[in-house]
């Protein structure tokens, strides 16, 4: 007879709770004063912990942005997994990032979250990330090529990378209203879909 998996102990729950409070306090601080002006001591004080406790959980402020990006990416991947065609997947990608920008309610925080990939701060494990959005979209591009939905002459893996790089460029550029974002995405995505003029 096997024993049930151990429930998280009091210490693990406390560590998780502290990390969550720090994360929320950091996001609030980023919204309030901007990422560059955010102060770790204020974040820790707001979370009710010491400054060293912040660094125990997040070695840098950029680690908070990376965690935010990874949390949001899970929701985006779920949207992509529901899509049954490349056209639907691209639509879900566009709507997902438009909704994310609105949900964050701060275009600087939104762009900052994505710009960590350009800045590539020292000590941030960017190259170790699994990038599930890339994998999910690559699957759609490969399936689209097999169905004849991907524009002729495009190689699926390369098209996926160029498409996501272009989306990334649009997102870290100037803020746009949702209608403008949709128009930009529609134009971009038409380059990949067979039969679009």
**CATH code, domain carrying 91:** 1.10.357
Q: Note whether 70 and 44 are same-domain residues.
A: no
Does residue 197 carry a pLDDT above 70? no
Average pLDDT score over residue span 97-111 = 88
Q: Are 124 and 86 members of one domain?
A: yes
Instruction: Please give the tally of structural domains in the chain.
Output: 2
What pLDDT shows up at residue 182?
94
DSSP H or E segment with residue 129: none
Reduced to 3 states (helix: H, G, I; strand: E, B; else coil), residue 8 is: coil
Please give the pLDDT value at position 114: 82
Share of the chain above pLDDT 90, in %: 64
Q: What is the pTM of this model?
A: 0.82
54 and 66 fall within a common domain: no
* 169 domain-assigned: yes
Inside any domain, residue 23: yes
Q: 117 and 95 in one domain?
A: yes
Which residues form the domain of 78? 62-190
Residue 150's pLDDT is what?
96
Query: Is position 30 within any domain?
Result: yes
104 and 179 share one domain: yes
Same domain, 35 and 112: no
Give the confidence band of 7 by pLDDT, cuts at 50, 70, 90. Answer: low
pLDDT tens digits, 30-64: 999 999 999 999 999 999 999 999 999 999 999 99
pLDDT band at 20 (very low <50, low <70, confident <90, very high): very high
List, in sequence order, the alpha helices (H) in the chain. Answer: 10-33, 40-47, 51-57, 61-82, 86-104, 107-119, 132-147, 156-172, 178-190
For residue range 142-196, what is the model confidence (pLDDT) as tens digits? 999 999 999 999 999 999 999 999 998 888 887 789 999 999 999 999 999 998 6
Residue 141 lies in a domain: yes
> Distance between CA atoms of 117 and 2, rounded to whole angstroms?
45
From residue 49, alpha-carbon distances to 17, 25, 52, 66, 104 in Å are 11, 11, 8, 21, 25
Q: Per-residue pLDDT for 5 more than 90?
A: no
Q: 40: closest CA among 53, 122, 124? A: 53
Which residues, listed in sequence order, are joined to residue 94 by a DSSP beta bridge? Answer: none
- Residue 8 has a pLDDT of 60
How far is it, in rounded angstroms, from Cα 141 to Cα 66? Answer: 26
pLDDT value, residue 121 = 78
- pLDDT tens readout for residues 132-145: 899 999 999 999 99
């Amino acid at each position: 007879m096997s024993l049930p998996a151990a429930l998280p102990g009091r210490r693990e729950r406390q560590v998780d709770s502290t990390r969550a409070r720090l994360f929320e306090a950091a996001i609030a601080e980023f919204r309030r004063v901007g990422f560059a002006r955010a102060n770790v001591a204020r974040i820790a004080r707001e979370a009710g912990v010491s400054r060293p406790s912040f660094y125990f959980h997040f070695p840098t402020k950029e680690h908070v942005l990376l965690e935010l990006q990874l949390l949001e990416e899970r929701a985006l991947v779920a949207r992509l997994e529901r899509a049954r065609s490349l056209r639907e997947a691209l639509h879900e990608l566009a709507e997902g990032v438009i909704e994310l920008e609105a949900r964050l309610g701060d275009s600087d925080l939104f762009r900052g979250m994505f710009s960590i990939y350009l800045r590539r701060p020292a000590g941030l494990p960017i190259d170790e990330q699994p990038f599930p959005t890339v994998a999910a979209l690559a699957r759609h591009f490969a399936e689209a090529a097999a169905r004849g939905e991907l524009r002729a002459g495009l190689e699926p893996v390369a098209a996926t990378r160029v498409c996501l790089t272009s989306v990334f460029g649009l997102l870290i550029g100037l803020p746009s209203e949702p209608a403008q974002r949709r128009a930009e995405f529609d134009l971009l995505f038409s380059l990949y879909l067979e039969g679009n003029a």
